[in-house]
Amino acid sequence: MAVDVLTECIIERSLAQVAAYAADPDNAPKWYVNIKSAEWRTPKPLAVGSRIAFVAEFLGRRLAYTYEVVEHAPGERFVMRTAEGPFPMETTYTWEALSATRTRMSLRNRGSPRGFGAIVAPLMAAAMRAANKKDLAKLKSILESQ
């Protein structure tokens, strides 16, 4: 069973501010509830082909995986993929300016869990949706307090 979770929020900041902060892997541990660390495996700056290793905790398990940037259109769309671990996944961010100071950000995670992950896919989707809502709420709080 495939998992496809889309979450959105409106952030009271410019598209440029939101996109620059959210697409910077160094900021991921600051606003993702489950991500504990991010380490560059390729030289900066961020570009298609960049690889970033993440360590996360999800559903009580430690996960270590490396994402590769497969699309990077600054201020529009950012896509990373991993084929590692029990849950090969693609994460997509999109941004839409609603005004000069309001931005809609979408966070989409989709993939096809393998092994035990395939058995608990419905639970995984619900947990991802809840985590993504918390992540976007934290991102909103960080950016709106600056």
Sheet holding 89-99, edge to edge: 3-11, 102-111, 89-99, 77-82, 61-73, 51-58, 35-40
- What pLDDT does 63 receive? 85
For residue 35, give its domain range: 3-144
H or E segment and range at residue 79: strand 77-82
Give the CATH number, domain containing residue 111: 3.30.530.20
| Total number of domains in the chain | 1
- The residues facing 39 across adjacent strands are 53
Token duo for residue 33: 């509830």
pLDDT in tens, 2-60: 889 999 999 999 999 999 999 999 999 999 999 999 999 999 999 999 999 999 987 78
Name the DSSP letter for residue 75: T
